[in-house]
């Protein structure tokens, strides 16, 4: 007798509050960012009332790059982190890797407009399959991008893989509010105000509804720490900012 044929297994993934087949999520996320790429940085200023600039500056303070550091910035298509890094480390190099070609195009245009030609490379690539060699960079950052990947653990493992021994990983991401009262205010602002801003400024309410929902689906601070340790990061820690609206996670490859 022939063995019974097994039905294909269904692997679900979160896309905001929806559950979709895991193999479909990347394309859905790609569509979101392709639609909002040209308005992405403007929306960041409006949504955070400019505070995202302070969060990113704090990330660079924490990184405190040494001379000639090679940084990999994952999901950094518009160049916001890369430009800050080069301002801090003018003799360093940064590789920006983003799966969305529209976001990368925005970043390249911004770099040209600012006269940033040397020291920066642009790569269209998947955070779960980073097209760089093992142990090839000194530091790795990802800002507000980890929640959009399909398999968080695979992306974390990849970012550790490309780090040289002694290299540092920093993840800046929306997280769980830890201050009483602020959590309720933040929920109201997120679900009532942000989608309306998206509709008016980016002409895409659905995209910003997804982005708000994706924040609520992202693992809380302690769970993300555990997952970083599970893929091999050492000296894992996090620091809450703005009452936990955002957390800066840190890990090392030792």
Interval 130-173: pLDDT, tens:
999 999 999 999 999 999 999 999 999 999 999 999 999 999 99
Distances (CA, A) of 6 to 2, 3, 9, 10, 118: 12, 9, 8, 12, 54
Q: Is the Cβ–Cβ distance between 120 and 98 less than 8 Å?
A: no
Please give the average per-residue pLDDT across 118-124, as a whole number. 96
Average pLDDT, the chain: 92
pTM of the complete model: 0.90
Was domain 12-253 assigned CATH 3.40.50.150?
Answer: yes
Domain ranges of the chain: 12-253
Give the model confidence (pLDDT) of 226-244 as tens digits.
Answer: 999 999 999 999 999 999 9
Please give the average per-residue pLDDT across 105-118, as a whole number. 94
Please give the average per-residue pLDDT across 56-76, as a whole number. 97
Output 183-186 pairs: Cβ under 8 A, ≥24 positions apart.
Answer: 186/245
How far apart, in whole angstroms, are the C-alpha atoms of residue 142 and residue 149?
11
Distances (CA, A) of 174 to 2, 81, 111, 193: 51, 16, 26, 17
Q: Is the pLDDT of residue 5 over 70?
A: no
How far apart, in whole angstroms, are the C-alpha atoms of residue 71 and residue 175?
24
Cα-flanking dihedrals φ and ψ of residue 232, to 5°? 115, 0
pLDDT at 36 (0 to 100): 87
210, β-bridge pairs: none
- Strand (E) positions, 4-88? 12-15, 18-21, 70-74
In the block, tokens 């809380």 appear at 220
In this structure, the chain runs to a length of: 254
């Amino acid at each position: 007798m022939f063995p019974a044929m097994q039905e294909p297994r269904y692997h679900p993934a979160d896309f905001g509050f929806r559950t979709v087949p895991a193999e479909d999520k990347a394309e859905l996320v790609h569509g979101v960012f392709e639609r909002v790429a040209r308005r992405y940085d403007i929306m960041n200023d409006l949504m955070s009332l400019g505070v995202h600039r302070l969060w990113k500056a704090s990330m660079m303070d924490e990184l405190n790059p040494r001379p000639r550091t090679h940084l990999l910035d994952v999901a950094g298509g518009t160049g916001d982190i890369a430009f800050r890094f080069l301002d801090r480390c003018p003799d360093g190099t940064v590789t920006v890797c983003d799966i969305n070609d529209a976001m990368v195009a925005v970043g390249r245009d911004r770099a040209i407009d600012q006269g940033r030609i040397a020291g920066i490379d642009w790569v269209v690539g998947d955070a779960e399959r980073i097209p760089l060699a093992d142990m090839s960079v000194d530091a790795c950052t990802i800002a507000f991008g980890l929640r959009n990947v399909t398999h968080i653990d695979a992306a974390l493992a990849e970012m550790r893989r490309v780090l040289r021994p002694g290299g540092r990983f920093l993840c800046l991401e929306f997280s769980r509010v830890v201050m009483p009262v602020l959590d309720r205010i933040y929920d109201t602002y997120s679900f009532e105000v942000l989608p309306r801003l998206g509709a008016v400024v980016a002409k895409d309410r659905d995209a910003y509804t997804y982005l708000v929902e994706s924040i609520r689906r992202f693992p809380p601070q302690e769970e993300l720490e555990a997952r970083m340790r599970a893929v091999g990061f050492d000296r894992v820690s996090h620091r809450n900012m703005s009452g936990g609206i955002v957390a800066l996670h840190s890990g090392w490859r030792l």
